[in-house]
Structures are given as structure tokens and as C-alpha cells.
Amino acid sequence: MSDFKCDVNEQNKATELPLLRVGGSVQQNPHMRAFWASTISFFLAFLAWFALAPLALDVASSMGICENQQFPPAHFKTRPAYLKFKSLSTGTAYCQYGKNDADKPTDCKPVPNDILATPLCNSTVITGCVSEKAKLQYLPDVLDECVCTPGTECSRVLANAGTISVTSTIVARIAMGTLLERFGCVNMQVVLLVWGSFWIGMAATITAPWNYMLIRFLIGAVGATFVTNQVWCSLMFASNVVGTANACAAGWGNLGGGVTQIFMVVVLFQPFKAAGMESDKAWRVSMAVPAILLLLCAIAIKLLCWDTPGARRFDVAVTGKDYWEVVKDPKVLLMAMQYSACFGTELAMNNVLATHFRTYFQMNAGDAASLAGAFGLMNLFARPLGGIVRLPRSHLGTAVFLFGFGCVDNSQPWYVALIILVIFSVFVQMAEGTTYGIVPFMNPKQLPIVSALVGAGGNIGAMIAGFAFYARIPDPILPFKVHGCYVMFFALLTLVCPNHLHGGMFWAPAAGAALKKTDPWFCSRLFFMCCCW
């Protein structure tokens, strides 16, 4: 009779996922310890990975790269970022009497002659007069504290830093396939958490764009905790429940990307400011909290968890290792491409949403963080649901609603953007859950390598989106539309693999058809069917 707290199969893998059954020693309950350790560590990794994103404008101010810091309006009156600026709250524009060109202005229109000829109001002249403000061609007081709109150097620095933060994860995730087999899940997760803890703590020392980008690059390696998250659960849970376990562990881990938007601003930054700290000091002190949380989590995992149900250390002989066998498999490459369109999209949104709401919709830091956080908070149920029920057409929905989000301009109420963002997020997370609900079945013998390569595909998608769309297109909403078209391409890619037995985007499987695990294209057909029906 098994001494495990969970029901297990002949390989001692759990055949159930009892979320609240957390008691017992590591020998009795290695499965749920691994599940919650992988989930919590990935959650905290996401928290640290994107901790700087919602505070980007405040960091920009500290680095002195805001447009109105580099080019004071008093001396550089005709900067394009100023000429296009209009306060959404008051309706007042920097160009009080309009721009000389609606699309590509080079200056503000001059003050009308009749206004110039009208006397100024004073204590003795109160009618038929105008204020001093009315005779101003430019109104610099309406500008944001940090002007960082698309097309400025500030915007490019923040966008590039966000992209760099996911680029380092590509290398780290690919390397994790070998490192997990060499050192095991517990050791690698601990190393990544300690690494992330050190560099998120060092973020408090940022003073210039070069070290801002460097530190975001180095922090990005902590995103490789996702590979451990998926491999660890796959080693602990049987095939009947591993899709659910993987989706829940990854989804609730990804939840950290939404929580950090709110946590870093509403829970840390704003209370520190309210206590009397300057903005420059408040965001720096805030970095200490995720650093401490990551370090404590690393210690707990090392002391309390095992790699597999029956052994403290993972044995590579259980799975073998052959990178070339995996790389030459078209199923893995297709899955990585598909993952670039869903998880890559989520990473890109984690980087840009808070700044988008602060600059384009001119929201304060707390409100912008809350709206940006709503995107990641859908992970609470959407990604697990994608792994459990494999909702069809998730990629297609992602593309449509991402494009739709790009159609919401700042003349519309903020809640329109929020509604579309939430629906868009649900589709994104479900596509991710579907993907990693299938990965464990693609090549079980090479599971760590498959998980590493498909996971790296997600970061490649974020890197492409960051460099090609959000950093290069000097428009506040066009990048979202172009990104939506990119995702649509991968959604429609399923059309090139029709199959009468397993169906496709617009048709169901033939009557009585069953998915065969012996089919060499089983995983690809399953993914195409699940994501695109």
C-alpha cells in the first residue's frame, strides 16, 4: 500500500491534484510540495521580472530621460511630443490655438491678432479684456511630469529595456533543458531565485539607461523558472492530470505578472510616497521587497522539496537527453511558434500596458497599474481552464481582441479599453494553457528539452513584438494592431495542416474519429484542433 498522500500510479506519479492536501513529510507528499513550490516560485519570479515595468516612468524621471527633462519646454518649444500633447482631464492642449499641421506639426499656431490686441484684465479692467494666459502661444504647464510618449527617446529606452528583459530568458530557457537534467529541479529553481533576488535588489542602484537595460536583462533570466515549473509538475503527475497540473501551476505563476503591476505601485510605491519619501527613493526602496521574497522562497524550496516522487535528485537516466532529436522534430518547432504568439503576447503586454495607460490615457500611477494588472489577473482562471477544457479558437480570439484593443483611442472611456483588454487576456491565457496541456505528451522521454524549447519560443515572440512593433512604431496604438496581425498569422497557420480525422479551424473531426497517441502528428493536430475550433 502506498504511503503517499496522493493516489499514485505504478511510477509513483500522482493521479489526482488535491490542491489543499499539503500536509505530511516530503516523503509522504512530494507531489503537492512540488506543485505549490513550482507555482509560488514562478509567481514570485514573475513579480520580480516585471517589477520595474509599472514604475517605468518614475525610473525614467530618476534617469533624467523624460522629454521635458532632456529638452526643457522653455527652450525647446517646438518638440513634436509637446506639439501633439493634450490634457485629457481638462481638454487643454499645449498648442493653445491649435497646431500648424494636424498630423505632422512643426509649431503651434500663433495667438490670434484680436487676442493680442485685447487689453489684459487687472483690478481696474474687468470686462473686454483677456488673461495673460490667453496671450500665450504655448502652455507648458499642461505637460505631464514625465513626457514619454511614442517617438521620444524616453519611450524607446523603456520599450527596448522591456524587450531586453525577455531576450535573456530565451538563452536561459534553452539552457534549462540541459541544466535541469544535470542538476535537478530543486537546485535549478533555487539558483534562479537567488540570481533574481540579487539583481532585483541591485535595481535600486539604477542611474542611467545603460544600467537600467543591463539590470533588466539580468533579471530576465528568472523567467526560466517557468521551465522548472512545467518539468517538475510533469515528473510528479500522471498523464490523466498532468495537463491540469501544468496549466494551474503556470497560470497561477503567471498571475504574478498581473499582481506585480498593482503590488509594486499600490502596495509599495504609493504608500512609501505618502509616508514622505520622494518618488526617486520610493521606487528604489520598493525593489527590496521582491528581492527578499525570492530569497526566502529559494531557502524554503531547498529545505522542503524533492525533484521526483521517490528521490531527492532527478536522474537523467529516467528520461535520457538528446537535444538534436527534439530540435529536428517539426511538432516541437510548430509548438514553439504557436507559443510565441500567446505567451510572447502576454510578456509584451506586461512590459507596455502600465506605461501605455499612463502616457496615452494620462492616468495616475495607481489607476494605470490597476488596469494593467487586470490583464495578468485573468491567469487566476483562464490559463488553468485552457489546460483543463482546451477551449477552441483561443489563438484566433487573441488576435481579434488584441487588434481591437489597438482600435481604442483616448477619446473613448477607459472602461472600453478595460473590457476589451480583459476578453483579450482570457483568450491569451487559455491559448497558453492549451499549449502546455499538450507539451507533456509530445515526447515524454525528452520532456525537459521540449519544455525548454517551447518555453523559449514564447520569449522569442515577446522579443519580436518589442523590437519590431512597440519600440519602432512611433504611434501609441498602431503597434497593438500590427501585433494582432502577427498573432493572426499563427492562428491561420493551422490551415496548412488539415486532417479529416482530427479536424481543423473550421471543421470538426469525422464522426467516431479518435485521437491516436501513436500518430506521429498527434500533438500538432491536437493543438491545432484545440486552439482553433
C-alpha cell recorded at residue 327: 530540435
Residue 360 lies in a domain: yes
Residue 254 lies in a domain: yes
Instruction: Fill in the amino acid letter for 494.
Output: T
Backbone angles phi, psi at 252, to 5 degrees: -75, -25
Residue 499 lies in a domain: no
Helix 209-219 crosses helix 56-63 at what angle (to 10 degrees)?
Answer: 140
Which runs of E-coded beta strand occur in 377-524?
A: none
Is 453 in a helix, a strand, or coil? helix
The CA distance from 320 to 376, in Å, is 36
Residue 526 lies in a domain: no
| Inter-CA distances, 300 with 28, 69, 186, 293, 297, Å | 17, 45, 10, 11, 5
pLDDT tens string 176-225: 878 888 899 999 999 999 999 999 999 999 999 999 999 999 999 999 99
N-term to C-term CA, the chain: 44
User: What is the band of 516 on the pLDDT scale with cuts at 50, 70, 90?
Assistant: very low
Residue 409 lies in a domain: yes
Mapped to the 3 state alphabet, what secondary structure does 222-252 carry?
Answer: HHHHHHHHHHHHHHHECCCCHHHHHHHHHHH
Contacts of 526 (CB under 8 A, 6+ apart): 438, 441, 502, 515
365 and 57 in contact (C-beta within 8 Å)? Answer: yes
User: What is the band of 443 on the pLDDT scale with cuts at 50, 70, 90?
Assistant: confident
Residue 54 lies in a domain: yes
The CA distance from 67 to 436, in Å, is 42
CATH number at residue 195: 1.20.1250.20
Task: Tell me how many domains the chain contains.
Answer: 1
Buried residues in 40-70 as b, exposed as e (16+ CB within 10 A) = bbbbbbbbbbbbbbbbbbbbbbbbebbbbbe
Is it the case that residue 514 has pLDDT exceeding 80? no
**Which of 306, 307, 240 has the alpha carbon at shortest distance from 15?**
240
pLDDT for res 496: 56
Residue 126 or residue 444, greater confidence: 126
E strand or H helix at 221: none
392 and 532 in contact (C-beta within 8 Å)? Answer: yes
Is it the case that residue 494 has pLDDT exceeding 70? no
**Which of 351, 119, 338, 298 has the alpha carbon at shortest distance from 192?**
298
**Alpha carbon 326 to chain centroid distance?**
27
C-alpha cell recorded at residue 240: 490523466
Contacts of 116 (CB under 8 A, 6+ apart): 135
Tally Cβ neighbours within 10 Å of residue 434: 30
Burial class (CB in 10 A: 0-12, 13-18, 19+), 415: exposed
Residue 329 lies in a domain: yes
Is it the case that residue 366 has pLDDT exceeding 50? yes
Residue 279 lies in a domain: yes
Q: Which domain holds residue 406?
A: 30-62+147-494
Is it the case that residue 139 has pLDDT exceeding 50? yes
Model pTM above 0.75: yes
466 and 478 in contact (C-beta within 8 Å)? Answer: no
